Structure formats: C-alpha cells, structure tokens
Copies of this chain bind each other. A is one copy, B any other.
Amino acid sequence: MSAEPYEPVPYEPADVYRPRRSPGRESYDRALVHAILDEGMVAHVSYQGGHGPEIIPAFYVRHGEEVLVHLSRRAGLASALQAGTPFAFCVTHLDGLVLARSAFHHSMNYRSVIVHGVPREVTGEEKLRLFDLFIDKAVPGRSKEARPANGQEARATGVFALPLVHVVAKTRSGGPNDDAADMALPVWAGVIPLAMVRGEPIEDRVELAGNI
C-alpha cells in the first residue's frame, strides 16, 4: 500500500462534485486522501438502482490511485457495477464529539473522503493478486498464511476498481466554534475523542459458533 512513491500533486477539484458546505473543510491533498482511505476498512457505496438510490457498506482497500471494492457476485451492486453504472463512494472516520456552549455549535470531528466515478471490474490474474490486499489490510502478512482462493471462490467475488480522480477529503478537527458572546456561559465545552480500537483476538474453537 505504501510502495508507490510519494506523489505531491493534489487532486483536481471538479465543480460538479465540489461540496457546497464549509469550503474550508475540503482538501484535495493526495497524502491526506491516501491516509484517510488507508485507515478505514468499510466504505459506503451508492448508486442509482431500479427503484431509486441504493447504498451498501463494503470492504475496500486503496491500491495506488484506485480504491478496490470487494463485492459478492450475488449482491445487486455487483450487477450494477458490471453494467458501467456510476457510483459514489465514501469513507468516514469519526474522531470526536464537539460540545459547544451553544446547542447550534455542537459538532463532530471527522475525516472523510468521497470519490465519484464509474468503476472497472478487475478480472483474471490481476484479481487473484489483488485479493491479497484485502486480507493483508486486516492483518499485514496474513495472505501468506491462509489458504489462497481457488477458482470457484475467486469467481464468486467481484472486485471493482474506482480511479481516484474525482476525489475530495472533508475534515473537521479542534474545539467548538462558539460565538464570542457565549464564551462566558457556565457550560462545559470541549471535545470527547472517539476512536476505533481492536480488542484481544478470540480464537475460533468449538464454542465460537459459525455464522451462516
């Protein structure tokens, strides 16, 4: 994931996708976008389905200037993507609850990346090779330990690649932005940090019932 050389060229803002709110919270910085994407495990992807907008959570991994999305062939999204349907992709990390002196200025600290585009399906040898990236994202080196996917297993899973072209990061950090007139109110203000943590691994034994 970190093999490509550092690329200081920022992404190009696209007017049609530029978020309208809080322009100061946007960034097109490539290193920031990569860092946000590399930290997450699950993205939400959306597309226009036959009955209106659809949204699903999906496992993903960044690979250079693409994000790879891992989908069951049976999922509706896999069919939609094969047909060249455009989609919107979003990863969000929640970093804190921002408690202000006024109700209005309560907020959240977060880092998110939104990508728009039409994905391509990854197939053949490339697909088999890229499978390892998903496994190694969960636990580095893991792909060398587990039994590799066989042909039937590989066929059951779709891998779709979305180019990092129409990309924007949106972030908020720091304390509350209370109005000057509210600063003397006797109300606790500050940030409650939030973080995703990993617990102690639980080994699979008889007592860990398998899921369907």
**B16 lies within 8 A of A145 (CB):** no
B residues in contact with A147, CB < 8 Å: 101-103, 182, 185, 187
A197-212 toward B: CB 8 Å interface, digit per residue (1/0)? 1111111100011111
Select which of B53, B94, B175, B197 is within 8 A of A195 by beta carbon. B197
**A90 lies within 8 A of B44 (CB):** yes
Known contacts A176-B204, A212-B25, A55 near B86 by CB under 8 Å: no
Segment of A5-13, A28-36, A72-80, A119-127 engaged in the interface with chain B:
A72-80
Q: How many copies does the complex hold?
A: 2
Known contacts A53-B48, A199-B194, A20 near B209 by CB under 8 Å: no
Assign chain A's interface to a size class: 35 or more
B residues in contact with A50, CB < 8 Å: 16
Complex CA distance for A207 and B44, rounded to whole angstroms: 35
**A148 lies within 8 A of B190 (CB):** no
**B201 lies within 8 A of A191 (CB):** yes
**A103 lies within 8 A of B143 (CB):** yes
Q: Say whether A22 faces chain B, with CB atoms less than 8 Å apart.
A: yes
Complex CA distance for A102 and B147, rounded to whole angstroms: 4
Select which of B52, B59, B143, B193 is within 8 A of A198 by beta carbon. B193
**A55 lies within 8 A of B174 (CB):** no
**A175 lies within 8 A of B54 (CB):** no
B residues in contact with A59, CB < 8 Å: 108
Complex CA distance for A139 and B107, rounded to whole angstroms: 12
Interface of A toward B, CB cutoff 8 Å = 16-17, 19-22, 24-25, 41-42, 44-48, 50-57, 59, 72, 74-76, 86-90, 92, 94, 97, 99-104, 106-110, 112, 114, 116, 131-132, 134-135, 138-139, 142-143, 145-150, 153-154, 156-157, 172-178, 182, 185, 187-204, 208-212
Q: Which 4 A-B pairs have the closest CB atoms?
A: A46-B46, A193-B199, A175-B208, A104-B153
